[in-house]
Structure 1
Amino acid sequence: MIKNPDMLKFIHLTDCHIVKDGGAVYGQQPAGRLRAAIDSINSEHHDADFVVITGDLTHHGDDAAYEIFARELRRLSIPSHLLVGNHDDVRTFRFHFPEAQRCDCGFIQGSKRTPFGLCLFLDTSQRGSDVGRYCEERQGWLKGVLSETSGPVMLFMHHPPFAIGLPDMDESRLEDAEAFWQILRLHRHRVRHIFVGHAHRMVYGNWRGLPVSCMRGLNHQVALEMTSSPKGQYGNFEAPAYGVVLANEEQIMVHMHDFMDRSDRFIF
């Protein structure tokens, strides 16, 4: 495949949940799912400019799991940008990925300039909690980047700053959503899209006028249960997927790729 200079193409992948020894999570093999995703990207989308993985790289944040994740990631034929989520351990992640971008205040944050917008990678992790956080230090970094740059922006983060309509998942969304919005509000005409993880569902929509999307996870999904259950949130094993994103000056299109689908193809 030849890259199209008039189009930015990248892959949005999220919630890998790797465990040590290539073990199982809820009876499934996340390392095998990650391997299949990378095989698919290398084969079908090696013309993409980069891959963004929006957090929960591992399930328990341990050394052995990050070693497996890193080993699989080395097979990827295009550059990658890694975010951390509530299942990750930031200190262990830093040890295994010392090259990962960090902001001046030490969080796993950074940016990438593209012809069709500045990509901003945000750290919404909060040690010891599943709830997302974007503290004053991180807010200060984001304010600085937005005030010192111009042009369109695409944001990537693990925790959604908005409710998606699943009560148990919404309890662990970004707790600083209002403060986060007050930063974006001043630049809302520049924000082209917000890409999130955490929800383990394919979700598209808008938040306060800003386009948003989320992808399915690689190992397991959150069931579409829109009422609270005393037993907690149900999960299921809907097919894993990643997003194929196409962006130019006029538009951003997000395709969900069910990369493990083996159904027969036919010509219309």
Structure 2
Amino acid sequence: MKIVQVTDLHLARPGETVAGLDPYAGLDACLVDILRHHADAAVCVLTGDLTNDGQPEAYAALAERLRAFPIPVRLLLGNHDDRPAFRGAFPDAEVDENGFVQSVLDWPTGRLIFLDSLDPGHVGGRLCAARLAWLDARLEEAAERTVYVFLHHPPFAVHIPAIDACRLAEADADALAHRLKAHGGVRHVFAGHVHRPIFGSWHGIPVSVLRGTNHQMGLEMTGARAGVSYEAPAYGIAVIDAAGLMLHMREFPLPPPRS
């Protein structure tokens, strides 16, 4: 199974820039590159911050692009997103019984679980009791299977102070870790939010975050602020087989700016 992960699109109203860049140029170049090199992917997961400020026009523009994209897509929400505006543009997106944008995808190689960590009005993320209860049920269903978890906010520290100050709430991260360790078959946690390539382990579970398709964050491991970085945008490719998982990060070229 091949999974493509795209994160932190930060789409604004068409024609507006974000961090001095056109976020649609980054997204369009990303989609073209995926189809050129990884059209055989089973699913493309967009791990949140689909928009820069929850603008309905941005969701509409994303929906228009994805209608022509042949790979199945799962969309997650980040702190820059707006749940009602998202559902207005994507009425067929899977949600749980409480309206959170959470779902699963079962494959012979295991179960993919997609979590909604958006906490409206806050930069950091939450997994409330209702979302954790939903997760409990999905993990119980997959008791004998391998599991891969996707969410926007990292539940782990990345040791960039400005990012760690607004990751998943510590109590929720602890509750998530307890559940994933108890399952025993969770093989990877994929996150966004950080705009940096980071790979490691958390409570014995491999984890990763990636660059976004627009701007990146600087590697500032001291101090309380992390500035914008203009490193190349990228997406991830995870290949899962019976022996394990390999994760690649693919930088892709942007079109030259219009004169």
**Following superposition of structure 1 onto structure 2, how do residues 131-210 of structure 1 map, counting pairs within 5 Å?**
131-149=124-142, 150-175=144-169, 176-187=172-183, 189-210=184-205
CA contact (8 A) 2:235 2:250 kept: yes
Q: Deviations over 1:179-219 (max 9, x none)?
A: 111221211x2001100000100010000100001110111
Structure 1 residue 83 and structure 2 residue 76: aligned?
Answer: yes
227, 239, 246: which one pairs with 1:246? Answer: 239
| Match of residue 50 from structure 1 | 43
Structure 2 unaligned blocks of 5 or more: none
116, 121, 134: which one pairs with 1:128? Answer: 121
| CA shift for structure 1 position 84 | 0.4
Q: Aligned equivalents of 2:112 and 2:176: distance in 1?
A: 17
Q: Aligned equivalents of 2:145 and 2:49: distance in 1?
A: 30
CA contact (8 A) 2:217 2:228 kept: yes
**Following superposition of structure 1 onto structure 2, how do residues 34-73 of structure 1 map, counting pairs within 5 Å?**
34-73=27-66
Question: Under a length normalisation based on structure 2, what TM-score does the superposition of the two structures give?
Answer: 0.95
Q: Deviations over 1:221-260 (max 9, x none)?
A: 110010014xx32111100000011101111001100011
215, 223, 228: which one pairs with 2:218? Answer: 223
Three-state SS of the structure 2 residue aligned to 1:233 is coil
| Match of residue 258 from structure 1 | 251
CA contact (8 A) 1:83 1:121 kept: yes
Output the aligned Cα RMSD: 1.2
Q: Deviations over 1:31-87 (max 9, x none)?
A: 110000111111111111110000000001011111111122223121100000000
**Counterpart amino acid of residue 59 in structure 1:** N
Query: Using a 3 Å threshold, how does the CA distance of structure 1 residues 22 and 69 change in structure 2: closer, same or farther?
Result: farther
| CA shift for structure 1 position 261 | 7.5
State the percentage of identical aligned residues: 42
CA contact (8 A) 1:22 1:30 kept: no
Q: Aligned equivalents of 1:243 and 1:185: distance in 2?
A: 25
Aligned residues: 252
Question: Under a length normalisation based on structure 1, what TM-score does the superposition of the two structures give?
Answer: 0.92
CA contact (8 A) 2:219 2:226 kept: no
4+ residue stretches of structure 1 with deviation over 4 A?
none
